[in-house]
Chain A
Amino acid sequence: MAITNTDHSSPPPSDRLARLRARVYAIEGGDRLAGGSVPLGVPAVDAQLPGGGIRTGALHEITAGDAATGAATAFAAVLLGRLMQRREGAVLWCLHRHAVDTGEIHGPGLTRFGIDPARLIAVQARRDADVLWAVEEGLRCPGLVAVLGETVKTTLTATRRLQIAAEDGGVTALLLRPARSSPAPSAAVTGWRVSAAPGLPRGFAAALGEPGAERWHTELIRCRRGRPGAWLVEWCDETGDLALAAPVCDRPARPRTVATFAQARRAGA
């Protein structure tokens, strides 16, 4: 379909582009896709995601930025935690030890991210094909909130199947992929790459040389109907919040001793 424009009184190009985008969106499925969305809780990130958050009933891909996979697992856990707090229901976690080889999921470690382990069902799969099958089965089960699958290799066809299944069932799908997996065309709504970032401990933690709150380099490498972006985010265990890390991350923290911290507290009190 060729779009010709002979009308000189047409709106400015940016407006026209927006209208074209809306039309393409409607052709692609439009409101059918516009399920709910769950905000990550970081305004800067949510603003860039269409719908203002992680869309439910859609496929999202998280690729690890380093071999340890810890940050990517944690980020996926944060997303799952957000989804589980939003709605009642179980979560299916398809483990695949050849894809993510840093161990089995550990209940006490997941509760930090707002996941109730009692609501988890784990599948220990041996092949990518089994993971993809199990994820698709899970997406068609109405009692689930979300399904997470660990895979090395996916194809456009496979991800398209999952995306359609997610849309139909209204269950959110996450794919967790190791750093060595090669980028492939994907039908996922968003694609993330997450790697660990040096922490910036404050207060006592800094004084004692302890690692502070976890920080992750979070890149939105693909986003349907949105723009990619990159953020440095920090996870706070106490509040269960994700926040944009202070932009001073590349500078060493001001050295503080326990004594000066105690003085500051006295002064504050």
Chain B
Amino acid sequence: MREARTRHVLYAVDAAATGAGLRPGMALADARAMVPTLATAPARPAEDKRALARLAGWCGRYSPWTAAGEPATDADGPAALGLENGGGAGLWLDVTGCAHLFGGEDAMLDDVVGRIGGLSFAVRAAMADTPGGAWAVARYAPCHAPGTVVPPGGTRDALAGLPVAALRLAPVDAAGLHGLGLKRIGDLYDLPRAPLVARFGNDVMRRLDAALGDAAEPISPALPAVAQRARIAFAEPIGRPEDIAAAIEILCIELCAGLVRAGLGARRLMLAFYRPDGTLARLRVGTARASRDPAHLSRLFAERLDTVDPGFGIEDMVLAAGTTEPLGAAQMGLARGAAESNADAVGIDTLIDRLGNRLGPDRIRRPAMRASHLPERVAWLAPAFGPLPDPVALPPLPPRPARLLRPPEPVEVVALARPPASGEPPALFRWRRAVHRVVRAEGPERIASEWWRAEAADAAAGTRDYYRVEDADGRRFWLYREEGARSAASAWYLHGVFG
């Protein structure tokens, strides 16, 4: 039931209601008059859509290429809603080359119907040469078995007897064809195309060609389809962590064998766990560098395994390499530095992957340099999961602190007799609530702002005069005074602490 303008209308009806003569689109008042005991619930299309997307994901166990069909909307008119007249929401599965894994097309379709039916969905399925053909047969075929397999090449015959609405036509087109007496799809086969196109536009012929396989019809999958994948199915759902870990190892070995054949290495991997209740859990791991070492990959997953809730058990697992890179045999042990031995370099890559997968990939960093004069820009911690920046040779610099505050912290310079003049270090400053008396100072080292860089923050920055100062206790600080670029005001900052 849903609200349409000012009245309540039926949104979807079940088989019993259909038997009682109710149809989607009927006013609730009329329906109540026909069936006083009617049980209704408000329609929640957004949730339906989410549930359908979840189910599409779950169907990934059958094929990597699954998509949730567009749910029927008001625009399609009431005829598009309800099982009798074309059914509700649909799922697309491109099972090309997958059926043999399930014991043939008939067995696969039975499995699909059985499992989705087991999740309390009313389901009808069809398998055909084309998406359009499967859609038409699933929704309009008169036979009462929930699953129909159209034999290869049999689409034309299978569609001939179905109503033209089975071509996924706009209701107005379907009604128009009906008006011309063209009630069955078979009626369209031998008609001259030109008059039909002239009358109904391209749509009818396009749908017909797509359904018969004369024109291509793409399906956009819920997840990007991947070439490298491995699947394992269990006779009984498994739940013990040891069993899951063992299954992961098998999957990794299988996937890596495929990667070796293709000369690829995985950068991003996704492991999907299919639970019998139609839900699935996913684990994603990434590697800093393309890898096809099964032991390494399975270890990355094993560490994250505690985040997966097996629920009532796991009956299917699919491991897919989402992102791959060409990886030659020689590259396997590519050393980072010339002096590092291959085994060590691989060990470090493995370590980086493991740290990154547990702590987050952006938390693993490698010091990098770039050509700049500003201390906070010249050296930075670049993400380890990414291309390493080119090394930059630095000119000899005055001593720099081992740690740099990011951002620099403002300090309060306490004036004794007079504020420090330009070119003079402060005599006393307060940093983090502690007062430091400057005993010795070295400087200034002047670093000009990089005005040629366009970023607003830098353009506004002024020239800095750096001082290395020592307080009475021997602590050394790296202070600077920044002259405002546009105003005469200056401010003191602490940029780092020396030993």
Residues of chain A having any CB pair with chain B under 8 Å: 66-71, 73-75, 77, 88-90, 92, 100, 102-110, 112-113, 117-126, 130, 133-134, 137-138, 141-144, 196-199, 201, 205, 208-212, 214-216, 235, 237
Contact check, B402 vs A143: say whether CB atoms are below 8 A apart. Answer: no
CB-based nearest A residue for B354: A137
* Most A CB within 10 A of own CB, among B345, B363, B496: B363
Q: Which of B46-54, B161-169, B374-382 contacts A (4 or more CB under 8 A)?
A: B374-382
Q: What 0/1 pattern do residues 476 to 499 of B give for CB contact below 8 A with A?
A: 110000000000000000001111
B367 close to chain A: CB less than 8 A: yes
Given the complex of chains A and B, what is the CA–CA distance between A113 and B499 in angstroms?
Answer: 11
Q: Does the CB pair B375–A106 fall under 8 Å? A: yes
CB pairs A–B below 8 angstroms (5 shown): A70-B475, A122-B364, A125-B359, A126-B363, A143-B345
Neighbour of A74 across the interface among B339, B405, B498, CB < 8 A:
B498
* Bound CA–CA A210/B365 (angstroms): 35
B158 sits at the interface (CB 8 A): no
For residue B460, CB closer than 8 A to chain A, the reply is no
Q: Quick one: given A70-B498, A107-B367, A130-B359, are A112 and B343 in contact (CB under 8 Å)?
A: no
Residues in A neighbouring B344, C-beta threshold 8 A: 88-90, 142-143
With beta carbons under 8 angstroms apart, the residue of B379, B439, B472 that contacts A117 is B379
Task: Give the docked Cα–Cα distance between A122 and B355 (Å).
Answer: 11
Question: In the bound complex, do residue B401 and residue A109 qualify as a contact, i.e. CB atoms below 8 Å apart?
Answer: yes
B434 and A103: CB pair below 8 A?
A: no
Q: Which applies to chain B's interface (DSSP): helix, strand, loop or mixed?
A: mixed
B379 close to A108 (CB less than 8 A):
yes
A225 to chain B, nearest CB (A): 28
A120's partner among B354, B358, B366, B441 (CB-CB below 8 A) is: B366
Query: From A108, which residue of chain B is reached at the shortest CB distance?
Result: B400
Nearest B residue to A249 via CB reads: B474
| B17 CB, nearest partner CB in chain A, Å | 56
Query: Is the CB–CB distance between B440 and A144 below 8 Å?
Result: no
Give chain A residues whose Cβ lies under 8 Å from the Cβ of B378: 108
Do A74 and B384 touch (CB < 8 A)?
Answer: no
- The CA of A77 and the CA of B359, in the complex, are separated in Å by 24
Alpha-carbon distance between A103 and B408 when the two chains are bound, in angstroms: 9
Q: Does more than half of chain A's interface fall in helix, strand or loop, or is it mixed?
A: mixed
Interface centre among A107, A137, A209 (most CB of B within 10 A): A107
A120/B367 in contact, CB under 8 A: yes
Of the candidates B369, B379, B405, the one having the most CB atoms from chain A within 10 angstroms of its own CB is B379
Chain B interface: which size bin? Answer: 35 or more
Residues in chain B within 8 A of chain A (CB atoms): 336-337, 339-341, 343-348, 350-352, 354-355, 358-359, 363-369, 375, 378-379, 381, 384, 391, 394, 397, 399-406, 432, 434, 439-442, 468-470, 472-477, 496-499
Q: How many angstroms between the C-alpha atoms of A81 and B494 in the bound complex? A: 26
Complex interface: chain B residues within 8 A of A104 (CB):
381, 403-404, 406
Q: Could you tell me if B403 and A103 are in contact, using CB atoms closer than 8 angstroms?
A: yes
Given A70-B497, A108-B397, A142:B347 Cβ within 8 A: yes
Given known pairs A74-B402, A108-B394, A137-B351, the reply for A198 and B470 (CB within 8 Å) is yes
Which residues of A lie under 8 Å from residue B341 when comparing CB positions?
Answer: 88
Q: Which residue of B lies closest to A217 (CB)?
A: B474
Q: Which residues does chain A contribute within 8 Å of B340, judged by CB atoms?
A: 88-90, 143
Closest to B397 in A: A108
Q: How far is the CB of B386 from chain A (nearest CB, A)?
A: 13
Q: Which residue in A125, A143, A209 is a CB contact (below 8 Å) of B351?
A: A143
